[in-house]
Amino acid sequence: METIGFPELLVILGVAVLLFGGKKIPEVAKGLGEGIRNFKTALKGEPEKPVTPVAEVITTEPRT
């Protein structure tokens, strides 16, 4: 079985551009990278860092 060569990579890239469009590809790559990173940390067994959401309170009433 042969490895993937340059022509095959060009075909795969062309199909990806046709499917997702040029503007969507960086978002797809970012999501893929985050998924791989999460998978690697899950395999290592390292606990995730807790993320504390920042809550902003927006009031519509003027203060008196």
Mean pLDDT, residues 49-59 taken together = 58
More confident residue, 55 or 24: 24
pLDDT for the residue numbered 53? 59
Ordered by start, the domain boundaries in the chain are 1-64
pLDDT at 8 > cutoff 70: yes
Q: What average pLDDT does the structure give for the chain? A: 79
pLDDT at 48 > cutoff 70: no
Q: Which two tokens stand for residue 26?
A: 């960086």
Measuring CA to CA, how many Å separate 54 from each of 34, 39, 47, 57, 59? 22, 26, 21, 10, 16
